Amino acid sequence: MVQSPRNDIEDEVKLNDEKIRLFGIPSFGIVIPNLTGLFGDLRLNDVRYWFGYILFIGLAALIWQGNRYLLFRTRKRFTWFDKPIEKLILLFMNNIFYTAPVTIALLCVWYNIAGFPVKWNTILVVSLINVICVLFITHVYETVFMVKEQQNEQLKNAELQRAKAEAELAVLKNQVDPHFMFNSLNTLTHLIKVDASRALEFTENLAEVYRYILIQKDQTLVLLDDELDFTQKYTDLLHLRFGQALIIRKRFNGAAGKEFLIPPTSVFVAFENAVKHNEISERTPMMIDVDLKDGILMISNTVRQRKNVGHSSKIGLKNLDERFRLVTGKGIVADRQEEKFVVQLPLIPIAN
């Protein structure tokens, strides 16, 4: 059976007020009768004195628990956002027309048991004090409820945003630029014709590259060291394709790869972007440098812009930037600096 969203306020907003009630109810049952002189001249050795405490603590429990129940019922019917006036009137009516009659009835019982003449002025004062105390406590309850509901709403919004981000990230991670596949197959076709052994090596490296992509597609972050190992397999493909026309240099200590996390296939995308947009030949070789400074992986390549890049899928760096923003909260930086194009990838340090 499907439950209503506002089926039960106590289920919807958890209110842990047991300790407050265990302290507050006896306190009101002890303090108020002593302040208002309900015990008269009764002494400690009088049974009626101790029975009075039991009666007044019971009265405090009836008032607290009763108004608490009415408060929860009121919250089911009205909220401060849709019908604030009706809610305020109902709260006052519940408090006054429940608290006052119960107080008067129990005090009359007390005067009869204690053998005192009924003091209506005292009854009026006690009833007024009880109503004021109930209004104050109701206000505290409502404030706590509103704070908790706001926290719950913020948590729900955060969960929705996280779910949305995860869905977007899943879509982005499953996208691989078709340009890479197109060039890989073209290269493989050429190598099969001219060099069968290199074609076999190329096929094995291509399989390793796609194996990594498939394994890591469900991962949000990977060790930089693992990403660089994968990139090495990808660069082996590039060297089989371009030979000595492509020079790749790593300019940082390899141990740093175990100190940072990075979204998977990030370096692959940066490399593929460089290969896609630049002319690479023995006459116009291209150099790619990989460096790590201040928690940022920098990939720079010499610019030898191709005259005809062809159709671009627009997946590459834009996709990568969106992935980094979703995962790390920071975007990438990609810009041309003189004769070099530099891509900066913000890394996540592993906490010691």
Q: What is the DSSP string of 2-59?
A: PPPTTS-HHHHS----HHHHHHHHHHHHHHHHHHTTTTTT--TT-HHHHHHHHHHHHH
Helix (H), strand (E) at residue 299:
strand 296-302
CATH of the domain at 322: 3.30.565.10
Which has the closest alpha carbon to 301: 347, 238, 255?
238
Mean pLDDT, rounded, for 82-86: 69
Q: Tell me: do 198 and 277 sit in the same domain.
A: yes
What is the number of other CB atoms lying within 10 angstroms of the CB of residue 55?
A: 20
pLDDT digits (tens, 9 = 90+) for 225-243: 988 888 888 888 888 888 8
Mean pLDDT, rounded, for 294-318: 76
In the predicted structure, residue 64 carries a pLDDT above the cut 60:
yes
Beta bridge mates, 287: 247
Residue ending a domain, choose from 171, 186, 203 = 171
Q: How many domains does the chain have?
A: 2
Report if residue 2 sits inside a domain: no
In the predicted structure, residue 295 carries a pLDDT above the cut 80:
yes
Report if residue 252 sits inside a domain: yes
CA–CA dist 191, 140 (Å, integer): 78
Residue ending a domain, choose from 144, 171, 198 = 171
Q: Check residue 341 and give its pLDDT.
A: 93
Lowest mean pLDDT among 30-34, 62-66, 159-163: 159-163
Q: Tell me: do 83 and 137 sit in the same domain.
A: yes
For the chain, the C-alpha Rg in angstroms (whole number) is 38
Residue ending a domain, choose from 171, 192, 208 = 171
| Highest mean pLDDT, choosing among 78-92, 238-252, 287-301 | 287-301
148 versus 123: the higher-pLDDT residue is 123
Q: Tell me: do 103 and 48 sit in the same domain.
A: yes
Mean pLDDT, rounded, for 58-67: 90
Please give the residue range of the domain that contains residue 117. 9-171
CA–CA dist 113, 115 (Å, integer): 5
Report if residue 281 sits inside a domain: yes
Q: Tell me: do 128 and 217 sit in the same domain.
A: no
What are residue 310's phi and psi, to 5 degrees? Answer: 85, -170
Q: Tell me: do 150 and 186 sit in the same domain.
A: no
Q: Tell me: do 150 and 197 sit in the same domain.
A: no
What is the number of other CB atoms lying within 10 angstroms of the CB of residue 179?
A: 19
CA–CA dist 229, 204 (Å, integer): 15
Q: Tell me: do 212 and 304 sit in the same domain.
A: yes
In the predicted structure, residue 10 carries a pLDDT above the cut 50:
no
CA–CA dist 339, 342 (Å, integer): 10
What lies within 8 Å, CB to CB, of 110 at 6+ separation is 38, 52, 55, 56
194 versus 3: the higher-pLDDT residue is 194
Buried b (16+ CB within 10 A) or exposed e, 26-41: eebbeebbeeeebbee
- Dihedral angle sign, alpha carbons of residues 17, 22, 27, 29: positive
Q: Tell me: do 206 and 324 sit in the same domain.
A: yes
Report if residue 268 sits inside a domain: yes
Q: Tell me: do 14 and 105 sit in the same domain.
A: yes
Beta bridge mates, 336: 341
Return the residue matching tokens 């000595």: 244
Report if residue 152 sits inside a domain: yes
Report the predicted TM-score, pTM, of the whole model to 2 decimal places: 0.51
Report if residue 116 sits inside a domain: yes
Side chain identity at residue 275, one-letter code: V
Return the residue matching tokens 């899928």: 313
Report if residue 3 sits inside a domain: no
pLDDT digits (tens, 9 = 90+) for 114-140: 888 988 999 999 999 998 988 888 888
Alpha helices in the chain (DSSP H): 9-12, 18-35, 47-77, 84-114, 120-173, 178-194, 196-216, 224-242, 266-277, 316-328
Q: Check residue 166 and give its pLDDT.
A: 55
Q: Tell me: do 40 and 108 sit in the same domain.
A: yes
CA–CA dist 341, 338 (Å, integer): 8
CA–CA dist 50, 42 (Å, integer): 10
Report if residue 4 sits inside a domain: no
What are residue 331's phi and psi, to 5 degrees? Answer: -85, 170
How far from 135 is each of 17, 84, 88, 89, 116, CA to CA, in Å?
Answer: 17, 16, 11, 12, 30
Q: Tell me: do 142 and 240 sit in the same domain.
A: no
CA–CA dist 317, 73 (Å, integer): 56
Q: Tell me: do 221 and 343 sit in the same domain.
A: yes
CA–CA dist 231, 177 (Å, integer): 16
